[in-house]
Amino acid sequence: MSKSTLKTVLIGCGVCLLTQSQPAIGQNSRSTDISKEVELEEVVVSSTRTGNKGALSNSKIDGSQLQETNMGENLPYLLQRTPSLVVTSDDGLGIGYVYFRVRGTDQSRINMTVNGVPLNDSESQSVFWVNMTDMVSSMSSLDIQRGVGTSTNGAAAFGASINMQTEKPAAKPYAEISFNGGSYNTLRESVKAGTGIMKNGFAIDARYSKVSSDGYIEHGTSDLYSYYASAAWYGQQTMVKLLAFGGAERTGIAWDGIDPTTWRDDPRHNSAGEYTDENGETKYYDNNTDNYHQQHFQAHVSHLFNKNWSLNAALHYTKGDGYSEQVKADDDFADYGLAPYKVGETEISSGNLIRRKYLDNDFGGLTLAANYRNDRLQLTFGGAASSYAGHHFGQIINILGQDYPGTLGNEYYRNQGDKNEANAYAKANWEIVKGLSVYGDLQYRFIRYHLSGINDEDMKEMDMGNDFHFFNPKAGITYQTGGHNLYANFAIANREPTRKNYTEGGPNDHPTYETLYDYEAGYSYMHRWFNIGANLYFMDYDNQLVLTGKLSDTGAALTRNVKDSYRAGIELMAGVLLGKHLRWDGNLTLSRNKILNYTDWVDDWYADWDNPDVVANSGQVQMDYGTVDIAFSPNITAGSTFTFDWKRFCAALQTNYVGSQYLDNTMNEASKLPAYCVSNLSLAYTLPLKKAVKDITFKVQMNNLFNEKYVSNGWSYSYFEGADKNGNFQKSNQKYDVGYYAQAPFNIHAGFCVRF
């Protein structure tokens, strides 16, 4: 193993898979030096990655390392070596809808960018990886900053920020064909090619990928495709690059979850799409699906003025549109504000209604940053502005199981969300004396968000929104000497509510913005044969929007503000070379995640079960729970990776442990997910060839190697069935409905990649 490779692995601190040393761009047999092109590419993202040097809360992952284990799962599943990160999926395989959390915070609170361009949806503030399957095949690197991190563009970073950079230029023309298949009829096909940088400075790259799967969960199918194309020109001082990437998804709806009893007896069961026909038989609606298209367009210009100054600017536009289609069993037209449907003289007031909810949105803007660098000082001045318009509407398109002519097409709601925002920032990293650096970062962010139209939840007219003015300062200090690294950071972040916070909050929930005070400090030591590190964090929240455990009817997690809460923990990382070809890397996070003086409102059902007309939600009861754990925040997570690398063969055994976690904030054992431990084994062998075909890599991926039966996500709904005999509401009398999302048992996938 070379010294440079060892250093790269040690820096990874257990995050990256050890792979065979790859030649850097420009080290191939190309006679022309393309280091200038690489430098121009780096200018694109340098403004969003400048932070406190040496902080262990930062992890940089090379794209080729992610591709080593890429078998069609969406990106979060390839990041499981990252400390404090937990993943889950609706389909149980990681192919369809996939979600992740960092330090207990969900992905709607994690800032994500591609080439410095915002990726988070403006209204939900989340990223839907199912719309960009296999995007990792077109990435050159990925930078994860846990905590607030450095100033960037787009959504607020309340748990982490992830900056992705697309591919850099290849030295020579290339082509790749990849294929793999496996359990539950999972297939991935990908074709990729590029011209390399030609004599005139132009370079073209393209990729097309197709991923399909039946999913582990019944009817949790996925039919996905994605594409990536870029055309770039590299001059001596200037780069111009045009990008287009995106994809489409058609997935079976699997966001309802199952109760614990069903999970034990029939974990693959999926009740979404079930209905009872006119003969009383239970059937399944085959088109119970989610359908969405999303296209991203970017135009980048980078210019090196001299050895110190550089500038990058980008224009971007994203188009998204699609719909979800569901059967709503035995629903009334009146529930949708619609009059009964007439067939001749007959009025139909209810039935198994087929409902579509549409989304059509447009997002565009620009980013700009100027960078100054010398041996001891890095300065960045940047900003961005963007505009978003989201159109939401729904229709009852038919009644299932009845012979009615045509399609109904009754529209029952239409509303629009408009969001305009802008930010400006300045940041600096200054090495005062050798080894001692200070870091400062100031950002101003403005948001204007407005919702209007008919709400799809209660059919009421809405006219709501706010203007927000946020100031987000950050500062840090680092001392590095002889392999030792000591650092400390402080940052303030502010975050606006999401669309769901406005439209689907309870009657006592009126969302406001939240503020985070993030304190981070750590130490690491890097030796020739081992590395150790510890990162302490204290995240103090004011008005944090926490998950309540409840879901909307489209599977969205609902939240509400709590005044005082915090997350505190320690992240431990270590790695050691156990021999010439064997290495172990591990990480451990121990944390406390608390809400102080938590109060919630619980639905109260005064039920006369002999008289169904009386059964109704007749109000809510205020309950005080004191200090409680924050939902979906395990107190312990851990990861371990053994890597064996010998000649052209590489094997990695990765294990993740996630401690128990509550599904809501009441800390009731009925709404608790048990701890789980899952191991995955990956094997790869590269066969070198000659002439037209350079090599073939054969890969095998075995997930959940020891067949653990587990759930990684869920929901909880609590309620009362009236007061006790003394007229009081006691926590011991609280009832719970709980939903689990079962994950797949042992599954295996195998394939190959041919490089030309």
* Across 160-164, 338-342, 439-443, least confident range: 338-342
For the cut 70, the answer to whether the pLDDT of residue 669 exceeds it is yes
Which tokens go with 374?
A: 């010398």
Range 188-191, long-range pairs (CB < 8 A, 24+ positions): 188/71, 188/72, 188/134, 188/751, 190/134, 190/137
For the cut 60, the answer to whether the pLDDT of residue 168 exceeds it is yes
Residue 304's pLDDT band, with cuts at 50, 70 and 90, is very high
Q: How far apart are the first and last CA of the chain?
A: 26
Separation in Å, CA 297 to CA 162, 248, 487, 709 = 19, 15, 38, 42
Tell me the pLDDT tens digit for each residue of 233-284: 999 899 999 999 999 999 999 999 999 999 999 999 999 999 988 788 889 9
pLDDT at 654: 96
- Enter the pTM of the model: 0.90
Residue 556's pLDDT band, with cuts at 50, 70 and 90, is low
* Across 76-80, 383-387, 559-563, 657-661, least confident range: 559-563
- CA dihedral defined by 494, 499, 502, 504, rounded to 10 degrees? -130
Q: What is the DSSP letter of 609?
A: T
- What is the CA angle 661-490-145, rounded to 5? 55
Residue 591's pLDDT band, with cuts at 50, 70 and 90, is very high
- Using an 8 Å Cβ cutoff, are 514 and 543 in contact? yes
Residue 575's pLDDT band, with cuts at 50, 70 and 90, is very high
Cβ-based burial of 679 (10 A; exposed 0-12, middle 13-18, buried ≥19)? middle
The fraction of the chain above a pLDDT of 90, given in percent, is 70
Which whole number is the average pLDDT over 113-139? 94
Our separate counts of H helices and E strands in the chain read 5, 39
For the cut 70, the answer to whether the pLDDT of residue 85 exceeds it is yes
For the cut 90, the answer to whether the pLDDT of residue 698 exceeds it is yes
- The larger pLDDT score, comparing residue 150 to residue 415, is at 415
For the cut 60, the answer to whether the pLDDT of residue 18 exceeds it is no
pLDDT at 601: 82
pLDDT at 550: 62
- The larger pLDDT score, comparing residue 361 to residue 69, is at 361
User: What is the C-alpha to C-alpha distance for residues 509 and 212, in angstroms, rounded to an integer?
Assistant: 40
Which whole number is the average pLDDT over 187-210? 95
Average per-residue pLDDT for the chain:
88
For the cut 80, the answer to whether the pLDDT of residue 474 exceeds it is yes
Which whole number is the average pLDDT over 95-100? 94
Cβ atoms within 10 Å, residue 514: 24
- The larger pLDDT score, comparing residue 572 to residue 511, is at 572
Alpha helices in 227-319 (DSSP H): 260-265
Which whole number is the average pLDDT over 377-386? 95
> Nearest-CA neighbor of 548 among 718, 662, 665, 712?
665
pLDDT at 403: 58
> Nearest-CA neighbor of 313 among 385, 375, 413, 253?
385
For the cut 80, the answer to whether the pLDDT of residue 357 exceeds it is yes
pLDDT at 622: 85
For the cut 80, the answer to whether the pLDDT of residue 8 exceeds it is no
Residue 16's pLDDT band, with cuts at 50, 70 and 90, is very low
β-strands 110-114, 160-166 pairing: parallel
Cβ atoms within 10 Å, residue 616: 11
Residue 68's pLDDT band, with cuts at 50, 70 and 90, is confident
pLDDT at 183: 97
For the cut 80, the answer to whether the pLDDT of residue 613 exceeds it is no
For the cut 80, the answer to whether the pLDDT of residue 407 exceeds it is no
Residue 722's pLDDT band, with cuts at 50, 70 and 90, is confident
The fraction of the chain above a pLDDT of 70, given in percent, is 89
- Using an 8 Å Cβ cutoff, are 604 and 719 in contact? yes
